[in-house]
Amino acid sequence: MHSSSFRQILQFFLQFGVFGLLLVTIADDSFLFLPIGGDLLAVLLIARNHDLFIPCIFVGALGSTIGVFLLDLVCRKGGEAGLKRFVKPKLHEYLKRQIEKRAALALIVSCLAPPPFPFGAAIAVASALQYPRPRLLTVIFVARAARFGLIGWSAMYFGRHILRIANSPEFLWVMAGFIALCIIGSILSIVHWVRDGIK
């Protein structure tokens, strides 16, 4: 995939402002793999316009919470048996131990940790273990708001450098490769969910 494709996708979401951020965070924190993460989009939006700092925090946290709710609907119904297809056994056991010991802390860490921390897997395990949904969504919203607050602060103070990196050819080529991986990952994810639903 050419680097210009990534630039076009990025510009597509940027033109919608915070609504674009809402769409990206909903999709990114459900079961899709997006080349344009909420973190990157929030950084670019705030770096361009500091007045979007507070709106991006709220919208980013809201979109993430909606995405988690969609993931929770599927994983809570499937229970632990349904996780075997999507979460590796070792990771499943590790997350299960952490959530059974201190669920809220484990979820907060998953919200704040940068990629490649398995955020979706942590949510899936918590839902399968029937962690109370109202508490789950509250923890996610608050922790994600804190994450977007930190991201926004960084964008305000280092905005020029961030924009320069985002426009560099090297960055665009790396992200173009990432787009291809995300497309493949999304297709596989959807196929797995559909097959599981049919069975």
- The per-residue pLDDT for 80 is 80
Instruction: Tell me the per-residue pLDDT of 99-158, one tens digit each, with 9 for 90 and over.
Output: 988 899 989 988 888 766 788 889 999 999 999 999 999 999 999 999 999 888 877 776
Count of domains observed in the chain:
1
Longest dimension (CA), the chain: 51
What sign does the CA torsion over 18, 19, 21, 22 have? positive
pTM value is 0.76
Task: Examine the pLDDT at 67 and tell me if it is beyond 90.
Answer: yes
- The per-residue pLDDT for 164 is 58
Q: Which domain holds residue 154?
A: 3-198
- The per-residue pLDDT for 5 is 62
- The per-residue pLDDT for 174 is 47
